[in-house]
Chains A and B, each alone.
Chain A
Amino acid sequence: MDNRELWELLGMDLEKHDEFLAPIPALATELFFNRPNRPAAMSYFDMVLADVHGIRVKELYEKKQKGAKIFASFCVYVPEEIIVATGSVNIGLCAGAQFPISTGERVLPRNLCPLIKSTMGFKLDRICPYFQVADWVIGETTCDGKKKAWEVLNQYIPTYVLELPHKKEARDYRLWEEVVLEFADFVEKETGVEITEENLQKSIEVINNKRKALKRLADLRKNKPSPIHGLDVLLINQLAFFDDPERFTGQVNQLCDELDERVNKKIGVAPADAPRILLTGTPQPLPAWKIHALIEKAGAVVVGEETCTGERYFRNLTEPAENKEDMLKNIAKRPLQINCACFTPNSGRIEDIVKMTENLQADAVIETNLQFCNPYAIESFSVSKEMEKREIPYLRLETDFSDEDQGQLLTRVEALLEIIRS
């Protein structure tokens, strides 16, 4: 079955989808395939990217034919181990393109986070095969925008909403544990597969291994010079949401082996004195590469992402346990260690930024804020004050998924690099 047949089977709007995909190959070639000095092991991820709406979607479709369910989510708080334990699949959702936003605005307010509008547009336009192949969307009550958008999305695809607490007190842990247990029941019912000690233990291991591999990759960026561009790591972090976890883990580890060698030979992607940037803020879902591309084109290297398409996704592991009950408890405990701006207070995030800046030897912090994301926009006040106190150069960028603001963004980034270099 070729891609077009598959897309047709999934009920996609082929014409619109062609229009959406048209500029992607040229962009991917410019930003990724043609960039010199990339590790050879990037070829796997390039291959996945080059056929991002084909090869993996076909796999999912085939899994579905064999009885698996596809759960689509776009938040690091969704406990994917539970889904994986049943032999079903958890995938991320397309959410980082400008193209479907105007369609999203048919049902959502204009002055809303572009990530939410993009997601909604992808579904309404029927141009995301992952959305089309999915049986369920697993939402969460992180921000107001998402919380209310699920109500609309549910009219187009069944949407299950996890109630995420917004504080981290003992009672919040209790609530979240209850939510996770209920979710486990729901997944069991939907998939018809019982969650057992064995399959849960295995899925915890599989997903932890994925996190460990990504952590290993992140740690390699501590080196001066950095052995890999931030843009390549961003792509890998983005694909982590989509790919088969075991195969993906193997590929990431293979890349890390190659990077170990690069580090030993002191091979870097930029001179050792190139400015090193830590990125913090809102997520950069596929294909939102703009900020990394701008920073690295300007001669700096992104050495870390304190974001959901970075550190927050993989830093915390699920503690193993002896029995099913404790395993589920630990699965619930893990996400509440993640510091997202939808929590209050969220001082842990500022500590994370400071620690990462030190560990990664970053010269400056750039905070990116998707337009109309209130939690992160408000929190940037505290972040900027802390950076000022510590005399860490800091720049806040407000942006969305469009390309039109690149000139303005570049001026800001270059001015920051001039501060670092002066």
Chain B
Amino acid sequence: MMKIGLDLGSVNTKLVALDGIKIREQKVVSSRYDSVSAGQELLKEWAKTNQDISYDLVVTGYGRVSFPEGKLITEITCQAKGCHGYFPTHEYILDVGGQDAKVIKKNPAGKVINFIMNDKCAAGTGRFLDFILKGLSLTEEELFEAAVAKPVNVNSMCTVFAESEVITLLAKGAKKSEVVAGVFQSTAIRLARFVESMAQPETLIFAGGGAHYNLLVKYLEQELKIPIVIPPDPEITVALGAALLA
């Protein structure tokens, strides 16, 4: 008997298959605005290569409500569970996903005791960063430069306003690398205040697709002045938690 966790996210859909506590398979595909189909595809593929193996399934992520099979658990509970195996003594998790950001507080057993989520707005989420970065269409070199560039101030956190602010900055002659650094820094500042609105943690787990952005991690550490730990695959910890709960 295997345990499968399926995380139907707004941007990506992820699958983790566990044999006991050992990860047998993990997969990430784009949701393409239809995470349910993406999830079904992933599951079908898995079954093809693992014929005759039965499994328990937990489905999570925003697409879960429309998924035809499996037990449903929210991504908040799954995230805590998924991160807990890696960092059992850390209390706080910052999760920056495609369409929302959350701060989760877990107890020594890995259970959620409190959480907050961003309000009705995409600011400070993966979608926001993707949108701005896509608009800037950076070369590898520019992205590399951004890591050491001096960030310019980007005040607006509304996706639309921030984009026009970025355009204005570029028109004034700011370098793309400096603007990118600025976007990451201002997002980090916003996320830091978001974390602090819940608590003043001494350490923080950073998970979700947003944790892939090294610059965001760097500025977040600077802003919070605490050590930040990141699970090996920050994007799949929710699916992992789902599999553990299956």
Interface positions of A (Cβ within 8 A of B): 371, 388, 393-394, 396, 398-400, 405, 407-408, 410-412, 414-415, 418-419, 422
Contact = CB atoms under 8 A, between A and B. Distances in A.
B92 to A, nearest CB: 14
Given A388-B114, A419-B112, A414 B74 contact: yes
Contacts of A422: 77, 111-112
Interface stretch (B116-124, B169-177, B210-218): B116-124
B100 interface: yes
B113 A408 contact: no
B43 interface: no
Contacts of A396: 116
B76 interface: yes
A415 B116 contact: no
Given A407-B62, A408-B100, A415 B120 contact: no
A410 B65 contact: yes
Contacts of B111: 419, 422
Contact of B74 (A388, A400, A415): A415
B112 A399 contact: no
B75 interface: yes
Contacts of A398: 119-120
A418 B74 contact: yes
Given A408-B100, A418-B73, 8 more contacts: A394-B114, A398-B119, A398-B120, A400-B120, A414-B74, A415-B76, A415-B115, A422-B111
B100 A407 contact: no
A235 to B, nearest CB: 25
Contacts of A419: 77, 111-114
Interface string B70-81: 001111110000
Interface in B112-163: 112-117, 119-120
A383 to B, nearest CB: 13
B75 A411 contact: yes
Contacts, number: 46
Contacts of B116: 396
Contacts of B65: 407, 410
A364 to B, nearest CB: 11
A393 B115 CA distance: 10
Most B CB within 10 A of own CB, among A393, A396, A405, A407: A407
Nearest to A394: B114
A407 B114 CA distance: 20
A365 to B, nearest CB: 12
B118 to A, nearest CB: 9
A399 B120 contact: yes
Contacts of B75: 411, 415
Contacts of A415: 74-77, 112, 115
22 contacts: A388-B114, A393-B114, A400-B120, A405-B120, A407-B62, A407-B65, A408-B120, A411-B62, A411-B74, A411-B76, A411-B117, A414-B72, A415-B74, A415-B75, A415-B76, A415-B77, A418-B74, A418-B76, A418-B112, A419-B112, A422-B77, A422-B112
Contacts of B72: 414
A411 B79 CA distance: 13
A397 to B, nearest CB: 9
A396 B103 CA distance: 13
A4 to B, nearest CB: 37
Interface in B82-121: 99-100, 111-117, 119-120
Given A407-B62, A407-B65, A419-B112, A412 B117 contact: yes
A415 B115 CA distance: 9
A54 B74 CA distance: 43
Contacts of B113: 419
A262 B203 CA distance: 52
B188 to A, nearest CB: 23
Identify the 3 closest CB pairs spanning chains A and B, nearest first.
A415-B76, A415-B74, A398-B119
A172 B219 CA distance: 50
A43 B179 CA distance: 62
A130 B117 CA distance: 38
Contacts of A418: 73-74, 76-77, 112
A388 B198 CA distance: 10
A116 to B, nearest CB: 17
Nearest to B60: A411
B100 to A, nearest CB: 7
A415 B103 CA distance: 13
Nearest to B73: A418
A176 B37 CA distance: 61
Contacts of B73: 418
A2 B49 CA distance: 67
A400 B115 CA distance: 21
Contacts of A408: 62, 99-100, 117, 120
A101 to B, nearest CB: 14
A263 to B, nearest CB: 32
Nearest to B104: A415
A405 B117 CA distance: 13
B113 to A, nearest CB: 7
A400 B65 CA distance: 22
Contact of B120 (A371, A411, A414): A371
Contacts of B114: 388, 393-394, 419
Nearest to B64: A411
A399 B111 CA distance: 27
Contacts of A400: 120
Interface in B36-87: 62, 65, 72-77
A192 B157 CA distance: 56
Nearest to A412: B117
